[in-house]
Structure 1
Amino acid sequence: MGQMLAARLHIPSRTLRLEEVERPRPGAGQVLVKVQAAGVCLSDVHLIDGTLSPLLLKGDTVTLGHEVSGTIAETGEGVTAWSAGQRVVLHAGEVRDGVTYTRGVDYDGGWAEYALSSETALTALPDVIPFDQGAIIPDAVSTPWGAITTTGAVRPAEAVGVWGVGGLGVHAVQLLRAVGACPIIAVDPSETARERALAAGADLALDSADPALRETVAGATGRQGLDVAFDFAGVPAVREQALGVLAPKGRLVLVGLTDQPLAVVDGTRFSYLQQRILGHYGSDMPVALPQLLRLVQSGRLDFAGSISEVLPLARAAEAVEMLHKKAGNPIRLVLRP
């Protein structure tokens, strides 16, 4: 079958290595995809630095990359819905025997020249959508979309706050605008991130360190507070701040990942106001991806501005370092084999 290049993480040492490995062959019900673009996510950084660890990985090494697009190179036995040459977006995970496995975490992902996928874990990519934009929709876009439309159940004209306007949060602002949230208030300590939020459609962008934040949110919401607050930062202080400006029966949706404990400082107030805290992870790919691709194809959404830089696969370690240090404040870096 030949060899291919892949960026693989050795979990015990947290060492990322560029390696020549055997090109995989699709088994029954699988397709082999020639990777055209693969996103670099903060989750990848956290896997490398040890903040996150695979739970279902067989072995001690995995090819990273859960945001992947490409063309079908080969199909396995019994696959009839797909054929060589079709443009596709791979789902960020697969369900096996009732258990959800995450691509690039629990099994090999797309930081490689080729990637395997179950025939049910990919979606056709329209010709009008470039591979780099298609690649980032799983996770960078679909995760906030699921948080907004399903977990948070945001309704038109609801007041919404977004804490952390990075690779997911900036898309949340765009998507909240699309579903009619009003006002949309972005909160981030970075001036660049706040400017980015305003450009994406936020009505207000506030510094989390601003002592007047609570009063500003009250003024913008008619003294009612936020109907929904989203934490994309995964920081305990953010969650405390967001709870402090929630409206009665308001929802706090936790999207950012952290291993730190969750605390409700004033439990009596929280219960009296009947507020809720909701955890969120990923999205329902078979539903979310077609919806988002349709919105992009129709011109309702545009993620061209989200592609901060495209780098060759050989520079994977450099891309990780750039994202870790926020060099140039990237939204999404993309690797191209």
Structure 2
Amino acid sequence: MATMLAGRLELDPRKFVLREVPVPEPGPGEVRVRVKAAGVCLSDVHLIDGSLTPLFLQVPEVTLGHEVAGVVDALGPDVPGGWQEGDRVALLAGERCGRCANCIRFQAPCLQGRTRGVDYDGGWAEYAIASQHTLVALPDDLPFDQASIVPDAVSTPWGAITGTAQVRPGQSAGVWGAGGLGAHAVQLLRLVGAAPIIAVDPLAAARERALEFGADAAFDASAPDLVQQVFAATGGRGLDVAFDMAGVAAVREQAVKCLGFGGKLVLAGLTPAPLTVPDSIGLSFLHKQVLGHYGSAPGDVETLVDLARHHRLDWSRSISDHLPLAEAATAVDRLTRKEGNPIRLILEP
């Protein structure tokens, strides 16, 4: 039996291990992809440390990795003829459950979507299995490392901006956390015409990076007069929309205070900490909203790949380093410690 190296999360007890596992065979409607690049996300770190737990995983362990790009290696039965071996592809970060009421009625959205590398095996491996519905064709000039991060690090903030928040040109926007999600949020807000764009981060290097990615201003989250700075930068109006891209409870309380009348706070970063709004009367009186967000909508990854194809977006600055798959634990440690202030570390089998 052929084997391959894979980065596995064992749930009981919680432990990350690298070991040889059987090379998977594609089933009906599936393809096997030879992985060329896989992103290391803060969600992977939280899965390993236990602050996030798979909702729908039915086995005691899973191969991590929800940001994946590679080459079609083998086709299972009943895969449409449009796909063939050698095709360059990115893999969507999840898929429909096929079981909930909306899936049964062919409605959107799926109510219990499964996440790659969380609820089923992901791409921290030499090969990955993917439903043909989750394949996104890549142009030849989009490198695998950049393509791999689109299905989460780029598409999640894109979905938050264009879908959940429905940001319009000229609206003021704040981004809390200028890391893997936040740096791209700044870039994408610039693309859709938000103004001004204000980045908030406690790290000076992250604030500088946000300015390079297109922020109009970047403020220190620990500044005692942060709220006043935000209102001054928006002409006294406050923010039309604020994005928590950090998944930090204190960020949310701070961001709500920076919203203007009718402002929206979108929670894209994940944390198990309770959500609290100290001034709930002010929230109601000023018609503020707090909106949850997860992932992206169907077609978002394809749209972003097309934007890259036409050179409207470039993610070369987003790739902080490449490491071999065998050093996945090192990548996790570096991201945990924020060594070098990375946007995305990439594993290459």
Instruction: Tell me the equivalent position of 2:229.
Output: 216
Q: CA RMSD in A?
A: 0.9
The whole-number CA distance in structure 2 between the counterparts of 1:109 and 1:101 is 11
The whole-number CA distance in structure 1 between the counterparts of 2:172 and 2:134 is 35
Query: Is the counterpart of residue 236 in structure 1 residue 249 in structure 2?
Result: yes
- Code of the aligned partner of 1:205: A
Aligned residue for 1:96, secondary structure, equals coil
- Code of the aligned partner of 1:270: L
- Code of the aligned partner of 1:23: V
**Structure 1: stretches of 5+ with no match in the other structure:** none
> How far is 1:237 from its partner?
1.5
Query: Is the counterpart of residue 273 in structure 1 residue 273 in structure 2?
Result: no
Greater shift in the superposed pair: 231-240 or 29-38: 231-240
Instruction: Tell me the equivalent position of 1:177.
Output: 190
- Code of the aligned partner of 1:54: P
1:70-91 CA-partner distances (Å, limit 9, x unpaired): 0000111111231100000001
Instruction: Tell me the equivalent position of 2:333.
Output: 321
Query: Is the counterpart of residue 117 in structure 1 residue 118 in structure 2?
Result: no
Instruction: Tell me the equivalent position of 2:347.
Output: 335
> How far is 1:236 from its partner?
1.9
- Code of the aligned partner of 1:8: R
> How far is 1:96 from its partner?
2.4
The whole-number CA distance in structure 2 between the counterparts of 1:72 and 1:266 is 52
Q: How many residues align?
A: 336
> How far is 1:59 from its partner?
1.1
Instruction: Tell me the equivalent position of 1:250.
Output: 263
Within a 5 Å distance, the mapping from 1:101-140 to structure 2 comes to 101-140=114-153
Query: Is the counterpart of residue 159 in structure 1 residue 175 in structure 2?
Result: no
> How far is 1:222 from its partner?
1.3
Instruction: Tell me the equivalent position of 2:277.
Output: 264
The whole-number CA distance in structure 2 between the counterparts of 1:4 and 1:122 is 22
Query: Is the counterpart of residue 226 in structure 1 residue 227 in structure 2?
Result: no
Instruction: Tell me the equivalent position of 2:200.
Output: 187
1:200-256 CA-partner distances (Å, limit 9, x unpaired): 000000001112222221111111100000011122211111111101000000111
> How far is 1:27 from its partner?
0.7
The whole-number CA distance in structure 2 between the counterparts of 1:18 and 1:273 is 51
Instruction: Tell me the equivalent position of 2:96.
Output: 95
**Structure 2: stretches of 5+ with no match in the other structure:** 104-111
Instruction: Tell me the equivalent position of 2:216.
Output: 203
- TM-score, L = length of structure 1: 0.98
Within a 5 Å distance, the mapping from 1:291-330 to structure 2 comes to 291-330=303-342
Q: Percent identity?
A: 59
> How far is 1:130 from its partner?
0.1
Instruction: Tell me the equivalent position of 1:74.
Output: 74
- TM-score, L = length of structure 2: 0.95
The whole-number CA distance in structure 2 between the counterparts of 1:260 and 1:7 is 27
